[in-house]
Amino acid sequence: MWVLPGIYAFTDRLDSQSYTVPGSLTWGAAVVFVLGLVLRWTSQRALAGLWSGTLELADDHRLITRGVYAYVRHPLYASMILWALCQPILLPNAIAGFGGIVAVSLLWAVRVPREEAMMLKRFGEEYSRYTARTGRIFPGR
């Protein structure tokens, strides 16, 4: 998600794959991207230090169901999806722009099922009830 944009921004190697985007669309994507940043910040704040870049639960880990987690089980992934959807507009390049969508899709396909299985194993019925009342990335069922 970051490598291809870095190559695009700091070299001319991907210039042949660039395209133009209307300015109004760029501004709209920038607003959505900032909303994704806010969602990421509020999600990590709600976790209060329980966030980890790896799939692991601390011994004292508890199920967080407050804040944004009262509505969505995976707001951090939702923020990445927002970023990835904005990336082809903010980085108008067929390779760098769409690379984020590929990266987030792979992350979602591989990591989310494992994470949900881990949470179900650890929290059992409490997690089942939580999943019944929340959406994965969009509020509600």
For residue 36, being part of any structural domain is answered with yes
Going residue by residue through the chain, which has 141 residues, state the pLDDT in tens, using 9 for 90 and above. Answer: 789 999 999 999 999 999 999 999 999 999 999 999 999 999 999 988 787 778 888 788 899 999 999 999 999 999 999 999 999 999 999 999 999 999 999 999 999 999 999 999 999 999 999 999 999 998 875
The CA distance from 33 to 97, in Å, is 13
HSE-CB of 55 using CA atoms within 13 angstroms: 13
Task: Give the 3-state secondary structure of residue 18.
Answer: strand
Which domain CATH number covers 75? 1.20.120.1630
**Containing structural domain, residue 84:** 3-7+24-45+61-133
For residue 56, being part of any structural domain is answered with no
Q: Model-level pTM? A: 0.88
The CA distance from 122 to 61, in Å, is 9
**pLDDT for residue 141:** 58
**pLDDT for residue 90:** 96
HSE-CB of 121 using CA atoms within 13 angstroms: 8
In Å, what is the CA distance from 22 to each residue of 37, 81, 89, 118, 129? 23, 22, 9, 44, 45
**pLDDT for residue 88:** 97
**pLDDT for residue 56:** 83
- Residues written for the chain: 141
What percentage of the chain's residues is helix, strand, coil (to nearest 5)? 65, 5, 30
Give the pair of three-digit tokens for residue 97: 């722009």
Among 46, 39, 50, 42, which Cα is nearest to 66's?
A: 46
Number of domains in the chain: 1
**pLDDT for residue 2:** 80
For residue 140, being part of any structural domain is answered with no
For residue 55, being part of any structural domain is answered with no
